[in-house]
A and B are shown apart, each in its own frame.
Chain A
Amino acid sequence: MKVELRDPNTIMKLSRLGSFHQSKLSFLRSFLSEFKDWDYNRDLFNLDKGGYGEAIYSFKKKDRVYSLVCFANKIDDEERSDRVIATKWDAAFTLYDGVPSEDDIKRLKNEVPKQEIGRLTFKELTLSRANKSVRVFNHVVKNLSEGKQPDLDLLSKVGYLYRTTAVYGSGKFGLADRFRIKNREEINGPFRLEMMLVYLVRQFTFDQVNHVAHNINPKSAVKLDNQICKNLGIGNSTGLGMAPFIVNHPTLLNNWILSRETALKKIREIKIVKNQDSELFKDCLKKSLKNITSWNTESEYQQNKIRLLLRDVKKLINHVENDFDFQSEFPFNEIYLWLEQNSCEECIEYVVSIMMEPYNDITEPLVSNMSSEEEKYFNIPTYRTVQELLEIIKIRYSNILDINFDQKENHQNFWFISKNKEEPRMADRFEEYGSELEQPLAIARDIKKLYEQLLSLKNDSTTIAQFLSLNPDLRHVVRRAFIIEKFPYSEIQDNTIGKSIVPIDMLRLKLSFFGALKFDPRSDKWLRICMFQGAPLPNELKNYDEQWVYKANN
């Protein structure tokens, strides 16, 4: 049986993209899989009694070394902020390419804590900073110093000791450009070095909390239990800065989604499912209930989604246990079709992720397809004709063409770059000033404009070169239309400037591919998440349970 890939007009809608969950294709999981054989080491741990100072952690294999350089700083409580406008953080980090010399550390000590206003070099690969969850950190320190383990309920509610507020890579602030390192086999997957940074930061937070507790009371302090450590991740606060990325990298977006869709298609096409595979699927599904019930958020929007998810996953478990025969042919296809009829979007995508769990042979080859040589697709094929472009638009943007952009609510918002922090923001076009400096992120509106302009031409055989010479303002969307011709999942099939847009859907999409858990919207424009919660500790990497995601709290 041949199953078709799912329709981009369904999958690339914001509400669907905003329902995506982590999977075996997620970058933090593929990072762990790639680096499990590398030698992990803590090379330097030079903190004072209060936990302030420097530390270095590394992964090494043959001649290649990646070193996380950490700087822990003392800051006042009122200086601590997760907003990107902050200028001080509890800790700052960079991932160094190789082993940093003393001079390097001295240089980095001066630059890394400054973050955006510091300058890095091509020897540094990623940059980040993080703040303590003061409530949790202090609680853990207090208990450990008194010889006790911390309150698990509190830890479970928060899920981490520190949260990062930004992770930068790919040439930002002088960091190495991607092209310098792209041919390294071990980082043949998106954001792998960013994942490494976050993973090593997590270990730093455990070491720091143990160190501080020990120094308070050296005689009676105990170390944080390893199992508790495993159930802690790293938090992250993410705002709109992340949203334009998925618009600005269409071929990369396509490759992420296409890999996921290909995995689903192949799984639905499995005629006979082995017993061990169906048991693994059912086991993950059942154990994942705890992930849902321990998912805390004050957001009504997300609470509602969680409620529906829990209801529908329970319904599916009941269906699979009582009404379903895994011995039947194409059982995963049957389950998928059942989900489409009986579940919310959040649940459909949740289960799609779990379906991948038994199938390393399907997912592993796809992981290496998730990067993109974006430069290859930049040039516009200007020798082609207006007629061809019209056809592409009609086929690939059919739903977009139905949007009426003359209506105020369909172009209510605009995206801009803030002068203060050089970060993307969104505002109401009719209430705020600055829309004349709008960023080119209103793809749906501009595609519609392009379509109407093309329709107005008398001669269909006009070349794109001729068209562009008269319509330079539409060049950016002409480029995109020729990209989507080859990459059907490269475009969000929705309006990114409408009144009803929920920008966190865009963040959620990207974060799900990172492998984030426990999306916690704090407004419609920013959210908190947790990464690596339940993941193996560095000294366990050589032999770990691949389904750790679904066993975090068990």
Chain B
Amino acid sequence: MRSLSEIETAVKRASRAVGFSWGISEEVGKSIRLLELFGLAGIKNLNQYYKEREIKKFENLNLISEKNIAQEAFCPITLGVSFLDQIKLIENFETIHFKNIAYPVIFLSFLSRASEIGGKKIYVKFDQYEILLNLNVNIFSNGFNKDFSNHANNVEIKFLDNQDNFADSEWNSLYKLAENTFVEESDSLKQSGAGAGLTDND
């Protein structure tokens, strides 16, 4: 088994070798390392992408707007780096649409890191896949253990507001159970049980 350190180093060097700058190559190394850590096919997709890149042109998107359309297909690396760099600007968009992204799983790794930087979960939908990027802690997907396609026609991205995943009634019900670990205080316990706080209300 290859260590993540080996993966990151090899990816960085390979990315430089195909023409990316050292700084971008460092970003790709980190991102593919993440994909492999999360059990997604980073090396496989990157390998295929770099081979296809030799014979085909991909579009670079440097400025992301709400609707982004590529005539050919967007390079997932340039797109991913732009997404990372512009996260503070684009997190205010309600939904971001992309048409034509090559090797979307590579793009996912950048979105995962963007989720951490922005402090928000990110929901992504393309083809039949729905993916939740959880602050770069994990990637939750209905496509786990399947091969993601090497092209996504329509990609939809939403930043999810930081809110509970449960209803107030569900919280209250659980909290009531938790209260069963508390001791009902008698008057004497109210006086003697606490340390600070009884006499400092001046």
Contact = CB atoms under 8 A, between A and B. Distances in A.
Interface stretch (A89-97, A145-153, A467-475, A543-551): A467-475
Interface residues of B, number: 27
Nearest to A476: B23
Contact of B3 (A122, A472, A475): A122
A474 B21 CA distance: 8
A362 to B, nearest CB: 33
A417 B27 CA distance: 20
A433 interface: no
Majority secondary structure of chain B interface residues (helix, strand, loop or mixed): helix
Nearest to A379: B117
A175 B88 CA distance: 38
Interface residues of A, number: 33
Given A475-B21, A475-B22, A465 B1 contact: no
Interface in A238-279: none
Interface stretch (A47-55, A166-174, A219-227, A510-518): A166-174
B62 interface: yes
A480 to B, nearest CB: 10
A172 B87 CA distance: 34
A177 interface: yes
30 contacts: A121-B1, A122-B1, A122-B3, A170-B5, A171-B5, A172-B6, A174-B6, A177-B5, A179-B4, A375-B30, A378-B26, A378-B30, A382-B84, A382-B86, A464-B85, A465-B85, A468-B23, A470-B62, A472-B21, A472-B23, A472-B81, A473-B22, A474-B21, A474-B23, A475-B23, A475-B26, A475-B27, A476-B23, A479-B23, A479-B26
A379 B5 contact: no
Nearest to A465: B85
B1 A174 contact: yes
A465 B86 contact: yes
A6 interface: no
A157 interface: no
Contact of A473 (B3, B23, B113): B23
Contacts of B2: 174
A17 interface: no
B86 A174 contact: no
Contacts of A468: 23, 81, 85
Contacts of B13: 417
A76 to B, nearest CB: 32
B89 interface: yes
A172 B5 contact: yes
Given A177-B4, A476-B22, A379 B88 contact: no
A176 B1 CA distance: 10
A348 B49 CA distance: 54
Interface in A362-394: 375, 378-380, 382-383
B23 A478 contact: yes
A474 B84 CA distance: 16
